[in-house]
Homo-oligomer: A and B are copies of this chain.
Amino acid sequence: MDAAVYHGPGDVRIESVPDPEIEEPTDAIVRITHTAICGSDLWPYRGQSDREAGSRIGHEPMGIVEEVGDDVRHVRPGDRVLAPFSISCGECEFCRKGLHTSCVNGDGWSGANGGAQGERVRAPTADGTLVRVPERYADDEDTLEALLPLTDVMCTGHHAAVSAGVEAGDTAVVVGDGAVGLCGVLAASRLGAERVVAVGHHEDRLEIAEEFGATETVASRGEDAVEEVRELTYGGANHVLECVGAESSMSTAFDVARPGGTVGYVGVPAGVEEAEFLGTAFSKNVTLRGGVAPVRAYVDDLMADVLQGTLDPSPIFTKTVGLDGVPEGYEAMDEREAVKVLVKP
């Protein structure tokens, strides 16, 4: 079969790789029908993080179950499924607690499990990892495209909002206008925030933010952005979503937080080497809560909303490619020509 393989910075190729096979009785094989390119796939692509040359890539799988191991109960061949970026058993202390990213039996896509940008993946602990799309919606293309972001970015944005403690009537500030930031806006609105201030650098993305419920947008940078947000929030917001993971965005998040407030952060810390934000956090008693999103804990609730038509993150997909178009998709995201690329192998 064909799959995307990472060879080094700027070099992702579609190559022939071995077909996955059932290795454990708890495995399933899924034929990928929809997947995506993630902002975090861009780090190795940009040389900002290490990744083994020759490794498969991608972690947002949706598809059709082709085969299941003897012990698999929840899915059967023919089911339309999606899976979070992290594999989880559903049975350990942390899975039961809703912290599936700390599953003691789990792992990520790629490595032994294959990357999701390919024709097929092996899904370990399939009962815990795979989420069935109800049959009624299993072939509705619009629904599937609205569901796909639940594999990562929509649940990640939601985790930022939940971690920041957003509740009905609140004012929330979202730092970052990438796919996760936009989903953070959508999540904060969904949780009932009365005001959602989106902070970003790209007019086209801030337009999507407005579509997603941002009541105000701030396009300035650095100190100017901080001043603007502070003015809009009369001195800072109690709920700030940090959706980038850079040193500057962490600083901005803490600078715009109100004393006693909370920064919900979900941007993988990349290049946050200096802990300058910590002094701000300390002096204002601003809590830092969040981390890698336990997508599996959120996907059922968010799927219910998508299926009833009240949640649709699919506008983040501004470009669609086939499997052969994956390298072009990376390029488009790298050059910020696309917010997020949908891949249909």
Determine if B272 and A99 form an interchain contact, defined as CB atoms under 8 angstroms apart.
no
A238 CB to nearest B CB, Å: 10
Chain B CB within 8 A of A310 CB? no
Min C-beta distance of A72 to chain B, whole Å: 26
Q: How far is the CA of A99 from the CA of B278 in the complex (A)?
A: 18
Chain B residues near A282 (CB-CB < 8 A): 265, 268-269, 290-292
Cα A268 to Cα B282 in complex, Å, equals 7
Q: Which A residues fall within an 8 A CB radius of B?
A: 94, 97, 99, 101-102, 259-260, 265, 268-269, 272-275, 277-279, 281-292, 294
Q: Are A259 and B289 in contact (CB under 8 A)?
A: no
Q: Is A283 a contact of B292 with CB atoms below 8 Å? A: yes
* Closest 5 pairs between A and B when the two form their complex, measured CB to CB: A102-B259, A285-B291, A275-B275, A288-B288, A287-B289
A296 vs chain B, min Cβ distance (A): 13
Instruction: Report chain B residues within 8 Å CB of A279.
Output: 269
Closest to A289 in B: B287
Q: Complex Cα distance A99/B236, Å?
A: 15
Pull 11 A–B residue pairs with CB atoms less than 8 Å apart, ordered by A.
Answer: A94-B259, A97-B260, A99-B259, A102-B259, A269-B279, A269-B282, A272-B275, A273-B274, A283-B292, A285-B290, A288-B288
Task: Determine the chain B residues whose CB is within 8 A of the CB of A260 once the complex forms.
Answer: 94, 97, 99, 102
Distance of A290 from chain B, by nearest CB (Å):
7
Kindly report which residue of chain B lies nearest to residue A268, judged by CB atoms.
B282
Closest beta carbon of chain B to A256's beta carbon, Å: 15
Q: Enumerate chain B residues within 8 angstroms of A285, measured Cβ to Cβ.
A: 99, 101-102, 290-292, 294
Closest Cβ of chain B: how far from A146's Cβ, in Å? 27
What residues of B have a CB within 8 angstroms of the CB of A269 in the complex? 275, 278-279, 282
Residues in B neighbouring A94, C-beta threshold 8 A: 259-260
Contacting residues, chain B, for A102 (C-beta < 8 A) = 259-260, 284-285
Residue from the list B259, B272, B286 in contact with A278, Cβ < 8 A: B272
Residues of B near A268 (CB, < 8 A) are 282
Whether A289 lies near B292 (C-beta < 8 A) is no
B291 touches A286 (CB 8 A): yes
Q: In the complex, what's the smallest C-beta–C-beta distance from A53 to chain B, in angstroms? A: 23
Selected from B277, B284, B288, B294, the residue in CB contact (under 8 A) with A281 is B288
Q: How far is the CB of A243 from the nearest CB of chain B, in Å?
A: 13
Chain B CB count within 10 A is highest, among A259, A272, A281, A290, for A259
A292 to B288, CA, bound (A): 15
A272 CB contacts on chain B under 8 angstroms = 275, 278
- A91 nearest CB across to chain B (Å): 15
A269 to B284, CA, bound (A): 13
Write out the residue numbers on chain B whose beta carbons fall within 8 Å of the beta carbon of A283. Answer: 101, 291-292
State how many angstroms separate the Cβ of A152 from the closest Cβ of chain B: 15
Taking the nearest CB of chain B, how far is it from the CB of A75, in angstroms? Answer: 27
Residue contact A281 to B286, C-beta cutoff 8 Å:
no
Residues of B contacting A289 with CB < 8 Å?
A: 287-289
